[in-house]
Each structure stands twice: as structure tokens, then as C-alpha cells.
């Protein structure tokens, strides 16, 4: 199949659904802001990779999935977990390392899991989970199901062997998988064009005879539409798709990294913020008369309350019992 660029979103998405997406994006933004605050207060430890700026990708793509589909992601996965319906309480509690967290406090920011929502984890080795996505979709095909597996990774993972091995095998075996590359332009502090011979990720699909789309990741509607097409390809005959979703992260690579400085300028970050996915959607809904200032305020209040509750819940939750140390090394 040939590589194609993204057409403009054709179908009208009902206003109510768009409001729901706005709410999800707002929830992710406020949640991540709160996580940054908690990190600064020492409530969250270790690595913590925030999703601010990329909200439209998780929300738009996950909106195209069914409940019985699978999702797998990298270590920048708070937003995807929230958009998949994992409660803010459980996610925040996991960031806090508490017993009530998604992984009982044993995974942390990089390893959010919710098997009941088929959210198969955040994974911490760049590109290491891409073969797992192929494996999950292999199992779907093996069992004769029509589910799909949606796999998120950053553009930097494209340079690692696992990406290429997985795309090759997904195409050879015709696996129902969507490889969703969130191109936020920097692998930690290295601009993609400095380390990639081919800077349009979609082009890699040619090597593996795979469908692909280049998508505007600041437009939730565009992300949704492209993912819907990819999902359809996967469900009908198990064809994989590579989506390159162009987006931007406002924050540093992780909480311990600067927002800008040696590798990008403040001006660049400010310029990118003018394309803010939340502002864009808000503007569109206001223009269409589907949302007014009161409605927006109400959404903001709801979302802040949810995040405050998550923080309170995480704060008050207990640490894991010491017996958890040795539990789950092996299954029974």
C-alpha cells in the first residue's frame, strides 16, 4: 500500500463528542500540571515524563477504539491512560507509588497498567514495547478476533532496531496493529533531524509495504479521523498502519530536564504553543456555538475538582505493604 498524507477530516463529529474530547484533553493538561507540582514537592519520585502539548494525540486516537481493543505505550503514557478511562485517582496514586495505584505502586510513572481496560502498560526502554504490540496483535489474529492493538511511541524510537523488526513482521504476518508515532521533534535533547537520515517517519512504511499517514497532532479531529481509517484497515483483514502524528511537547523530556535551552529556544516553544490543541478545539467549539464561556468554566471546574480529588486520594492512600516487595515476581 502506498504512503498517503492526511486528508482534511471529512465527517462531522457531533458537538457533544467534541466537548467530551475537550474535557479529556483538559483533564490530561490539569493532571500533568498537578503532577509537575507534586514532583516539585517530592511526592513523585524517579522519572516523570509529562504529556502537556500532546493531548490531542491520545484523546483523538483512543476515541477511535473499542473497549476490547488493546493499547500499549512508552513511558510518556499518563495522557493515554487517562484518555483510555483509567481513573485519575489510580494514575496519580501510581505516580505517588501508593498501594492504590494502577500497578500497586510498583510500576510508577513509566509502568501504568490496567488489564481490565486492555491498557497493556507503559514501557521504559525506548522502542522495546513495539514488538509487544506486534505480539498482542499476533494473538488477536491467532484467536480469530477483530480487535486491534494501538501502539504509541516517540519519533526517537524509529531509530532503534525493534521498530524495524516489528514493522517488518507486522506486515509479513498481516497483523491488526496501528503504530502511532508521536513525533514531538526531540528525543530527549536531540532534534530528530540531527540523528535521522529520513526525517519523515511515514517514509519508513515504504520499506515494509505498509499503509501510513502523516497527521496533524495538534488537531484532535484529524488524529481521530486518521486513526479511524487505520483501525478499519486493521479490523478488515489485519493490515497494519504507521501513523506519524506531528505534535510538540511543551515540557522538558522528563521532570529533571529543562523546558528549553541548549537544544531548542524559548521562542520555538512559545511559537508552538500558538497551535495548542486545547485552544484550537475550544476556539472551534466556541465559533460553532457549541460552547460558551460558562460551559468552558464548568468544564474547567469539573476537571480541576477531579484532579484535586486524585491528589488527595494519592496523598491519603497507604504505601504498599512490605509483603508486596516479593509478591508478583512470579505468577502462581
Chain contacts with other proteins (rule: CB under 8 A): 70, 72, 101-107, 111, 113-115, 120-121, 123-125, 128-140, 142-143, 161-162, 165-166, 168-169, 172-173, 327-332
Identity of the residue, 21 or 75, whose beta carbon is nearer to other proteins in the bound complex: 75
**What does the alpha-carbon distance between residue 323 and residue 81 come to, in Å, rounded to a whole number?**
27
Question: Rounded to the nearest whole angstrom, what is the least distance from the CB of residue 277 to other proteins in the complex?
Answer: 30
CA distance to 44, 61, 70, 129, 253, per residue, from 135 (Å): 32, 20, 11, 10, 28
Our CB check for other proteins shows the closer of 104 and 229 to be 104
CA distances from residue 77 to 25, 35, 151, 162 in whole angstroms, order as listed:
14, 13, 11, 19
CB of 170 to other proteins, least distance (A): 9
CB 46 within 8 A of CB 109: yes
Task: Give the H/E segment covering residue 271.
Answer: helix 266-273
> What nine digits make up the cell of 79?
495522557
Whole-number minimum distance, CB 254 to other proteins, in Å? 18
CB of 36 to other proteins, least distance (A): 23
Instruction: Give me the least distance between CB of 158 and other proteins, in Å please.
Output: 15
Query: Which residue is it, cell 492493538?
Result: 149
Q: Is the backbone of residue 49 left (phi > 0), alpha (psi -120 to 50) or beta?
A: beta
Between 56 and 134, name the residue whose CB sits nearer to other proteins. Answer: 134
What CA–CA distance (Å, rounded) separates 62 from 118? 12
Sheet holding 177-183, edge to edge: 3-5, 211-216, 241-246, 177-183, 149-154, 70-73, 119-122
Displacement of CA 299 from its chain's centroid (Å): 22
CB 75 → other proteins: shortest distance, Å? 11
As measured in angstroms, the least distance from the Cβ of 114 to other proteins is 7
CB nearer to other proteins: give 21 or 179: 179
State the nearest-atom distance from the C-beta of 128 to other proteins, in Å: 5
Of 179 and 248, the one with the shorter C-beta distance to other proteins is 179
- H-helix or E-strand spanning residue 73: strand 70-73
Closer residue to other proteins, CB minimum distance, 104 or 246: 104
Q: Among residues 68 and 292, whose Cβ is nearest to other proteins? A: 68
Q: How far is the CB of 14 from other proteins (least distance, A)?
A: 32
In this complex, which beta carbon is closest to other proteins, that of residue 279 or of residue 325? 325
Q: Are 117 and 150 in contact (CB under 8 A)?
A: no
Q: Which is nearer to other proteins, 137 or 184 (CB)?
A: 137
Query: Do the beta carbons of residue 154 and residue 182 sit within 8 Å?
Result: yes
Rounded Cα gap, residues 31 and 118, in angstroms: 22
Amino acid at each position: 500500500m502506498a504512503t498517503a498524507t492526511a486528508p482534511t477530516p471529512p465527517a462531522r463529529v457531533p458537538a457533544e463528542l467534541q466537548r467530551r474530547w475537550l474535557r479529556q484533553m483538559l483533564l490530561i493538561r490539569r493532571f500533568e500540571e498537578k503532577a509537575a507540582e507534586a514532583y516539585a514537592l517530592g511526592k513523585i519520585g524517579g522519572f516523570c515524563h509529562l504529556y502537556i502539548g500532546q493531548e490531542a494525540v491520545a484523546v483523538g486516537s483512543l476515541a477511535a477504539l473499542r473497549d476490547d481493543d488493546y493499547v500499549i505505550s512508552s513511558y510518556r503514557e499518563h495522557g493515554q491512560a487517562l484518555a483510555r478511562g483509567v481513573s485519575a485517582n489510580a494514575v496519580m496514586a501510581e505516580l505517588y507509588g501508593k498501594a492504590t495505584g494502577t500497578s500497586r505502586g510498583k510500576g510508577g510513572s513509566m509502568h501504568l497498567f490496567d488489564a481490565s481496560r486492555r491498557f497493556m502498560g507503559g514501557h521504559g526502554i525506548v522502542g522495546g514495547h513495539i514488538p509487544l504490540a506486534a505480539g498482542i496483535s499476533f494473538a488477536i489474529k491467532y484467536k480469530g478476533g477483530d480487535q486491534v492493538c494501538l501502539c504509541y511511541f516517540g519519533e526517537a524510537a524509529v531509530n532503534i532496531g525493534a521498530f524495524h523488526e516489528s514493522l517488518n513482521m507486522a506486515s509479513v504476518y498481516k497483523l491488526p496493529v496501528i503504530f502511532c508515532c508521536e513525533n514531538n521533534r526531540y528525543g530527549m535533547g536531540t532534534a530528530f533531524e540531527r540523528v535521522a537520515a529520513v526525517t519523515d517517519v511515514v517514509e519508513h512504511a515504504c520499506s515494509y509495504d505498509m499503509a501510513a499517514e502523516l497527521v496533524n497532532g495538534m488537531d484532535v479531529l484529524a488524529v481521530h479521523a486518521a486513526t479511524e481509517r487505520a483501525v478499519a484497515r486493521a479490523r478488515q483483514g489485519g493490515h497494519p498502519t504507521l501513523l506519524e502524528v506531528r505534535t510538540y511537547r511543551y515540557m522538558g523530556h522528563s521532570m529533571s530536564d529543562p523546558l528549553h535551552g541548549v537544544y531548542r529556544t524559548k521562542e520555538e516553544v512559545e511559537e508552538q504553543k500558538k497551535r495548542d490543541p486545547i485552544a484550537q478545539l475550544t476556539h472551534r467549539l466556541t465559533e460553532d456555538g457549541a460552547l460558551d464561556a460558562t460551559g468552558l468554566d464548568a468544564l474547567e471546574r469539573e476537571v480541576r475538582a477531579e484532579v484535586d480529588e486524585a491528589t488527595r486520594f494519592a496523598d491519603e492512600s497507604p504505601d504498599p505493604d512490605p509483603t508486596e516487595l516479593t509478591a508478583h515476581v512470579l505468577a502462581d
